[in-house]
Structure 1
């Protein structure tokens, strides 16, 4: 597009509040961190701290954008990564999403969890697969908000801070935070003042964008109640198992390991459980500090010798947990691992999780790691939904969550 820079602002009712003019968009506003930081397990009680309302609309502040001003609630929503898409889903706006990374893949995965919530499902078939994004496509989609981290977009090939500013001015603002996943360093232009948040801190701010604070607070209460129950039931640290979170290649013998307890929303379902990270014990706590995964082989995995092996992928069509178990049991080295000998290799879903998937995956991991405290994990059957768990063994109320997502709840 040769004339995009000169185009008039597409929406007068949704705009950046001074961030572009003041330079905050390009460098990342220094005054963009949360004013009230909730603990990992409990929501902030003052949701007004990062939101201001005036006769001209309302504004929400989050790094790296700074203050973003809206004159109306966004209706058409562009997303890239699924932690943001999952937040729109949790706020009752799954159908508003017009783009996301690998939509069919994540639709299949998400619906396996959502199967256990009455009246909640997603249909993302045919959406624009948005990574890396095309600037021309963003103009074509004509969204009300780009629920994506502008620093992440700037890192894509062919993009620059000028392109981000152009799309912001001519189409709609960006609002998202992605490098909090592992506290990875953002691109240089955004590094000054970039703030890291937990999954639920980002969710709180996204809820403010959609003026859905009540939904956020209700879901945060569900999570806080579950984490209180987990915290009270955890055994002493000396009695906790060691665990490794791994992904096996679908094409060769490669495998990768991920931190269980590091800061960042990728570990939002394992960090509260406090298990010993077997990989960190084997290779040192610093692995993955650069945002990269740990490349494994069976010898290193045996050196780590986890009591529990948490395996990413088998809830998708690309991996089969029974095949993985058979491969491990038949391997000269891997078969000697404690987790393999004791039959404790379990299915996990995804690290790039939104709030609803986070609730399920925290429950899943709690049962896999601590069956004596939280009930046995019933196992995952290939191709089936998240397993049915007896009501008295569930760690959170499915109907309450479904009602919140569907907008049929009382505060």
Structure 2
């Protein structure tokens, strides 16, 4: 066998990859470009009158879309396009928490082979929410860490060959933005190991690498979750979780106060006297837990990038009623320490959110369907305690226990769906 990873023969678990107008060997197809609203509403991109029910709520195409087996089915997600499968993936490489959360949602936690960063830290962040779901307790031990970089991102392609995953639930466009990676490298892994199926730039509607622009589309959390459900033949689980979310949104919308009575909100990480802001109403699933509340962004009109920072004086000028601190649950950020530092600073203490005790631990931007449910409930209580109940004095650890009559969604139903009782 060649020592060149790109020349290795496909693994025994290699999934069938096929689609219109693309080379099956690469596992990468040019997807539909344009706005996600132009995409089909179902997870399978070629659903038709000939589609029939398949196990666990998926669909298999009666016209044999895969070409080689009557049991093949197709899923679609930009930028990879159509990918056909002949078996549910048993080993799944994951980079971000959104993809891990989706895999857990569909009962495939045991299939996960990796996370992008420290698995213990990432797993702890996810498990902080899962703690409140009976019987949902993924084991994060032994997962590979894909990124070994410190200041930057360093992902070794050899590790992906060694993991031998049936599916890379990772955006190939993101991977080609890493140092040392080219599209040929991604295609070689798609050919020899398993296909790619991910969409990262929907997080903030960011610009993908130029080579992927024409194939890219932006999706919501739930649109990504729906399309990944087709991969795992988990359409029924997706529909059940989406129904819980729709009920949650209806509860929120029914009790929202008039726009004039809503607080101004700033989202920012606070480190050593510096604020690193996020636009609260920005497009993308990073703020999916904030946008439904229709609040005024304290940074409205500002051009915010990843390089934007503010000092105490600037934050006092913005003077938000509420300050939401991303990555505030079960992470290395201590929002309790941030609150203390702000309240003891002569200028920081004058910020309305600080003076009124409304600096809150907020959630992770890379949120899948389960996390979005919790983070939407959390945000409702932080922004509108009179309508949705007080948020706890969170000081670390798992998502706080909320009395049953004050919960905004049914934990038992979510846990049932994840366990397969749909």
Normalising by structure 2, we get a TM-score of: 0.88
| Offset, 1:315 | 2.1
Other structure's SS at 2:83 match: strand
Q: Determine the structure 1 residue equivalent to 2:23.
A: 21
| Offset, 1:312 | 2.3
Whether contact under 8 Å (1:35, 1:50) holds in the other structure is no
Runs of 4+ aligned residues of structure 1 deviating over 6 Å after TM superposition are 22-27
- Cα distance per residue 1:338-393 (max 9 Å; x no partner): 111111111113111121111111100010001111111122132x3211111111
Other structure's SS at 2:276 match: strand
- Residues 1:50 and 1:369: Cα distance change in structure 2 (over 3 Å): farther
The correspondence for 1:198, drawn from 211, 220, 241, is 220
What does residue range 160-239 of structure 1 map to in structure 2 within 5 Å? 160-239=182-261
Whether contact under 8 Å (1:81, 1:100) holds in the other structure is yes
Given the alignment of the two structures, is residue 115 of structure 1 paired with residue 131 of structure 2, yes or no? yes
Whether contact under 8 Å (2:14, 2:194) holds in the other structure is no
- Bigger drift between 341-350 and 198-207 goes to 341-350
Q: Determine the structure 1 residue equivalent to 2:145.
A: 129
| Offset, 1:314 | 3.6
CA–CA distance in 1 between the matches of 2:401 and 2:221?
Answer: 26
CA–CA distance in 2 between the matches of 1:130 and 1:13?
Answer: 21
What does residue range 9-408 of structure 1 map to in structure 2 within 5 Å? 9-11=10-12, 14-18=15-19, 20-21=22-23, 28-30=30-32, 44=41, 46-51=42-47, 53=61, 54=64, 55-101=70-116, 102-131=118-147, 132-249=154-271, 252-280=272-300, 284-288=301-305, 292=306, 294-382=308-396, 384-407=397-420
Other structure's SS at 1:353 match: coil
Aligned-residue CA RMSD (Å): 2.2
| Offset, 1:5 | 2.8
- Cα distance per residue 1:163-188 (max 9 Å; x no partner): 01100111000000000000000011
Other structure's SS at 1:296 match: coil
Other structure's SS at 2:5 match: coil
| Offset, 1:59 | 0.9
For structure 2, which runs of at least 5 residues remain unmatched after alignment? 48-59, 65-69, 148-153
CA–CA distance in 2 between the matches of 1:35 and 1:300?
Answer: 38
Aligned residues: 394
For structure 1, which runs of at least 5 residues remain unmatched after alignment? 39-43
- Cα distance per residue 1:244-302 (max 9 Å; x no partner): 111122xx33320111111101011111111111012xxx15423xxx25312111111
Whether contact under 8 Å (1:144, 1:172) holds in the other structure is yes
CA–CA distance in 1 between the matches of 2:96 and 2:74?
Answer: 23
Other structure's SS at 2:372 match: helix
Whether contact under 8 Å (2:33, 2:216) holds in the other structure is no
Other structure's SS at 2:413 match: helix
CA–CA distance in 1 between the matches of 2:329 and 2:381?
Answer: 17
| Offset, 1:237 | 1.0
| Offset, 1:13 | 5.3
